[in-house]
Structure 1
Amino acid sequence: MTDTANSIGTAPAAGPTTSIVLVHGAFVDASGWQPVYADLVGRGFEVLVVQHPTITLADDVAVTERAIAAARHPVILVGHSYGGAVITEAGAHPRVAALVYLAAFAPAEGGSVAALTSAPPEPGEAPAPVLPPQDGFLIVDPARFAQAFAADVDRATTRFMAAAQLPWGLGAVTATIGRAAWRTKPSHYMVATSDLMIPPRAQRMMAERIGATMVEVDSSHAVMLSHPREVADLIATAAATVG
């Protein structure tokens, strides 16, 4: 697979003095950031969008670090879902000023996404419809993808997302975090209260554990598609607190 980090948004000289780096999660690619990207570029931010393969955590962190290094300003590092694990590690980069987690995993040192998802669901919670691994990769059951991942996104989009899933490597799922950037960087967390992939209860627990400034939105897991304005507002707030 080819991995790239693209910087297309251009910040004017008198505009924001922070750059935004967007890191997608599992099962989807960077195209899901398009509405958030357009909003942030419209506000004058330099925006870099990371396209990483989700095969191993180490590779995904390396791709993200290249995007961070390419940014012109101190970076607000944003991760959705599994992207939260990526930014937890990559956020230790000295150019990162703050972290933003969107319905995302936030492991501690020595922790992993696998460990965070190992506990059985609590009463009233259904497990995410992830199929058993095949050839070392996971996907969401395509027949249940729309309801579980993006129930508040239009069906034409979710049908395509289900068919175009980016398989998630077990090497990324089980890899442990060596550095937890949230211990030293200000963090913000958006809880998606209608999420059927990562229970909102678990999201709140992670947000509280890392000491993040927490906001909630009535959204599916695909919060960047269903609530792009609210996502962009949170990112802009994080930028303002460090800018």
Structure 2
Amino acid sequence: MKPIISALAAISIVAAQAVPAASAERTVSIVLVHGAFVDGSGWKSTYDILSSAGYEVLVVQQPTISLRDDVAETERVIAKARHPVVLVGHSYGGMVITEAGDNPKVRSLVYLAAFAPEAGESVSTLAEAPVPAGEHKAPLVAEGNYLFVEADKFPSSFAADVDTATTRFMSAAQLPWGLQAVQTKVGRVAWKAKPTYYMVTSEDHMIPPTAQRNMARRSGAKVAELKSSHAVMLSHPREVAAFIKSADTSASD
């Protein structure tokens, strides 16, 4: 029996060496805030990468009907976090984190192809800016008190670098974007007091890249630019996760 025991022991040692040790838990939590027309499931790949790196990752499922309710829901999730928070917003989620980021538990802000408003600005006022030649505005259509992306233009406008089967479903499954969310002006502006990071998506057909650069510049953000559609967390989850990690000033790697 001794040879068998020795062989089993050797196999156990090799197996243990082949399995990487789990990452130690980080001392920062990451809260992810989605944008308009989609829900938190779009963060799945980013969530997996950051969770594997040892972060507590929380995903906000805000209804995108009113800015005030979305901020309140984000603050509720922030309160659940075990550690100081890196608060991340995509697209309209940037409006939300600009206000919710005023929470003292928030350590830094990350904007991904997002609105980064000044006090007194709304999505509506930001969208009034002229679009430079060669750039695009979102092809939106109103239905009552809600906005949607035109269904046939959703794949090319929102996520041109994501497979079409996925984007067709995203188009069909759009969440309504309430006019209260679009027209409400921001009062608190967290980027004036918190370290801020901004990822510009240069192939964006929803928020013009020039507008993104201008908002990033005035916020004093550390900026990265990526050749990506608006749906950057779907098409480039590793780059997005790495950028979010860069906002964790406690990280040693």
In the other structure, the counterpart of 1:173 is 182
The CA deviation at 1:120 is 3.0
State the 1:242 CA deviation. 7.6
User: Are the structure 2 counterparts of residues 34 and 13 from structure 1 closer, same or farther at C-alpha, using a change threshold of 3 Å?
Assistant: closer
Give TM-score, length-normalised by structure 1. 0.92
For structure 1, the 5+ residue unaligned runs are: 1-11
Q: Matched residues in 2 for 1:199 and 1:215: separation? A: 16
**2:100·2:190 contact (CA, 8 Å) conserved in 1?**
yes
- Contact 2:132–2:210 (8 Å) recurs in 1: no
Identity, % of aligned positions? 61
1:242–1:95: structure 2 CA closer, same or farther, 3 Å change rule? farther
CA distance in structure 1 between the aligned counterparts of 2:188 and 2:176, rounded to whole angstroms:
25
Following the alignment from structure 2 to structure 1, what is the Cα–Cα distance between the partners of residues 208 and 168? 23
Paired letter, 1:33: W
The match for 2:156 among 147, 150, 159 is 147
Match of 1:39 among 44, 49, 54: 49
- Paired residue secondary structure (1:145): helix
Instruction: Please show how residues 18-97 of structure 1 align to structure 2 within 5 Å.
Output: 18-97=28-107
Match of 1:179, SS? coil
Q: CA deviation at 1:135?
A: 1.4
Distance 1:124 1:35 in 2: 31
Unaligned 5+ segments in structure 2 are 1-21
Count matched residues: 231
**Match of 2:124, as an amino acid?**
A
1:98/1:242 contact within 8 Å kept: no
Amino acid at match of 2:49: D
Of 217, 220, 224, the residue aligned with 1:215 is 224
Provide the alpha-carbon RMSD of the alignment: 1.3
Partner Cα separation in structure 1 for residue 213 and residue 248 of structure 2: 22
Q: Please tell me whether residue 122 in structure 1 is matched to residue 127 in structure 2.
A: no
Offset, 1:15:
2.2
Rounded Cα–Cα distance in structure 2 between residues aligned with 1:110 and 1:241: 33
Q: Which amino acid aligns with 2:176?
A: P
2: CA distance between counterparts of 1:84 and 1:126?
Answer: 19
How many angstroms does 1:126 deviate by?
2.8
Matched, 1:105 2:127: no
Structure 1 residue 137 displacement after superposition = 0.1
Counterpart amino acid of 1:232?
Answer: A
Q: TM-score, normalised by structure 2?
A: 0.89
Q: Which has the larger radius of gyration?
A: 2
Match of 1:184 in 2: 193
- 1:151 is paired with a residue whose SS is coil
* 3-state SS, counterpart of residue 177 of structure 1: coil
1:157 maps to 2:166: yes
Q: State the one-letter code of the partner of 1:51.
A: Q
State the Cα distance separating 1:58 from its structure 2 match.
0.3
**1:79-136 superposed Cα distances (whole Å, 9 cap, x missing partner):** 00000000000000000000000000000111111110012322222321111x2210
Q: Distance in 2 between matches of 1:121 and 1:237?
A: 31
